A = this chain, B = another copy of it.
């Protein structure tokens, strides 16, 4: 990372002093993913366009794909039709679709107008798949082979057509109706006799995805089976595209980020933090913060209901009890949400999950409440009115609330899953409010009954 900083400074220097030959020499040695941040962070709008025009031809579209949407828009608006066509023609179709999805309508029109006619139809098809489907992340650029070719003929075909294909390492064997009948890796072809038929080298038991399958499920297949690309087929079993492992890696990262955001009461937002405006942060965080604030006033309602009967000593333990219940519930809900996301747990395991959480919460609750009792009776009693009765009541309520919180924490995500809602959204933020109110009611009613 330190080296990159130095490279950026040299780029800046060459650009400002107009040493464009040196600039291009540096750029040729760089990765597109490293050039993009320079354009975004070191140059103003006008400079960005000038700099992009200076990029070596073979790098231009690769760099363009790596740039953030707002900068892409600036560039496209400044491009001539000819420039735009050059960039678009050189991009992989799935990348073009990714760019288009972020652009306003008039820019989309210009991009489509400047795409090759044969691509325009494919792009429109890809744009029609639902946002989170396999279809939306696939590309239609792959090498397809016929089963009757020999290995040598297949290599010739890869050489002829492979330059523009997103991946050439897995080739797809289709019959005359484009039905996918097998998959063959370049590795297996390399290790076979040149005269061997593809039909004998190919694997006809292959993992595949369907066009409308959830992209998160598709990404999980990559991590389960360790593949480099997955064919995507339609309802008739015809090959319509492939998903490559680099896109699966992006999906895995994005889904994990989304789950963390949802579990922290933030609306999902994929933009890098430093690129988010204060307004977009406000928009993403306000709804849940507001909703939780309002629902938290239920606790005030419960408290004011009991306040006349609750002594000051007992009052003082309310935050500790609610906090511990919240933490205990969070542990369970986060565990179950993640296990559901990774496919480790399904709704049919609900009974096993509940049993396990009940047992775990009971031993956890016992340990925590034993420690709590000792602390209350021997330490807190030194500076507070904690009698044996109070210590006993508070620590037994702690046991009950821990068990209750863990039960709520594991039930909510399971119920959400069953109702086909997103466990991360439903379970996490609501869990706290439910657990807070329940633990208050349990505490107040038990304390008042026994000590009131």
Contacts of A345 in B (CB 8 A): 273-274
Chain A facing B: main interface SS: helix
Contacts of A1 in B (CB 8 A): 346
User: Is B286's CB under 8 angstroms from A364's CB?
Assistant: yes
Q: A300-B319, A356-B281 are in contact. Are A292 and B324 (CB under 8 A)?
A: yes
Contacts of A346 in B (CB 8 A): 1
Q: A245-B228, A249-B223, A278-B359 are in contact. Are A312 and B323 (CB under 8 A)?
A: no
Q: Which residue of B lies closest to A300 (CB)?
A: B316
Q: How far is the CB of A186 from chain B (nearest CB, A)?
A: 6
User: Is A363's CB under 8 angstroms from B278's CB?
Assistant: yes
A29 on interface, CB distance cutoff 8 Å: yes
A50 on interface, CB distance cutoff 8 Å: no
Q: How far is the CB of A279 from chain B (nearest CB, A)?
A: 8
User: Is A297's CB under 8 angstroms from B339's CB?
Assistant: no
A380 on interface, CB distance cutoff 8 Å: yes
User: Is A168's CB under 8 angstroms from B155's CB?
Assistant: no
Instruction: State the CA gap A259–B429 with chains docked (Å).
Output: 18
User: Is B296's CB under 8 angstroms from A319's CB?
Assistant: yes
User: Is B162's CB under 8 angstroms from A380's CB?
Assistant: no
A31 on interface, CB distance cutoff 8 Å: yes
Q: A228-B228, A265-B331, A281-B360 are in contact. Are A371 and B316 (CB under 8 A)?
A: no
Contact of A248 among B190, B249, B322, B360 (CB under 8 A): B249
Contacts of A278 in B (CB 8 A): 356, 359-360, 363
Q: What number of copies of this chain does the assembly contain? A: 2
Q: Could you give, for residues 245-285 of chain A, a 1 whenever the CB lies within 8 Å of some chain B CB and a 0 otherwise?
A: 11011101100110111011110000011101010011001
Contacts of A326 in B (CB 8 A): 326
Instruction: State the CA gap A312–B228 with chains docked (Å).
Output: 64
Contact of A285 among B246, B316, B339, B364 (CB under 8 A): B364
Contacts of A282 in B (CB 8 A): 360, 363-364, 367
Contact of A303 among B163, B316, B334, B337 (CB under 8 A): B316
A234 on interface, CB distance cutoff 8 Å: no
A396 on interface, CB distance cutoff 8 Å: no
Considering only residues 303-347 of chain A, those with a C-beta below 8 Å from chain B are 303-304, 307-308, 312-313, 315-320, 322-324, 326-328, 330-331, 333-339, 342, 344-346
Contacts of A147 in B (CB 8 A): none
Q: How far is the CB of A374 from chain B (nearest CB, A)?
A: 11
A420 on interface, CB distance cutoff 8 Å: no
Q: A163-B191, A281-B356, A290-B367 are in contact. Are A324 and B296 (CB under 8 A)?
A: yes
Contact of A300 among B158, B364, B380 (CB under 8 A): B380
A60 on interface, CB distance cutoff 8 Å: no
Instruction: State the CA gap A1–B346 with chains docked (Å).
Output: 11
Q: Number of A residues contacting the other chain (C-beta, 8 Å)?
A: 114
Contacts of A364 in B (CB 8 A): 282, 285-286, 289
Instruction: State the CA gap A31–B334 with chains docked (Å).
Output: 30
User: Is B257's CB under 8 angstroms from A260's CB?
Assistant: no
Q: Could you give, for residues 206-245 of chain A, a 1 whenever the CB lies within 8 Å of some chain B CB and a 0 otherwise?
A: 0100000000000000111110100000000000000001
Q: A288-B327, A352-B274, A371-B290 are in contact. Are A264 and B335 (CB under 8 A)?
A: yes
Q: How far is the CB of A23 from chain B (nearest CB, A)?
A: 16
Considering only residues 24-47 of chain A, those with a C-beta below 8 Å from chain B are 29-31, 33
User: Is B289's CB under 8 angstroms from A368's CB?
Assistant: yes
A372 on interface, CB distance cutoff 8 Å: yes
Q: A264-B331, A323-B436 are in contact. Are A187 and B169 (CB under 8 A)?
A: yes
A349 on interface, CB distance cutoff 8 Å: yes
Instruction: State the CA gap A226–B139 with chains docked (Å).
Output: 15
Q: Could you give, for residues 131-144 of chain A, a 1 whenever the CB lies within 8 Å of some chain B CB and a 0 otherwise?
A: 00000000000000
Known: A289-B327, A304-B383. 20 other contacts (CB 8 A): A159-B191, A162-B187, A223-B249, A252-B252, A253-B342, A260-B334, A261-B338, A263-B334, A265-B327, A265-B330, A273-B336, A273-B339, A278-B360, A286-B364, A289-B324, A290-B367, A292-B324, A293-B320, A307-B315, A319-B436
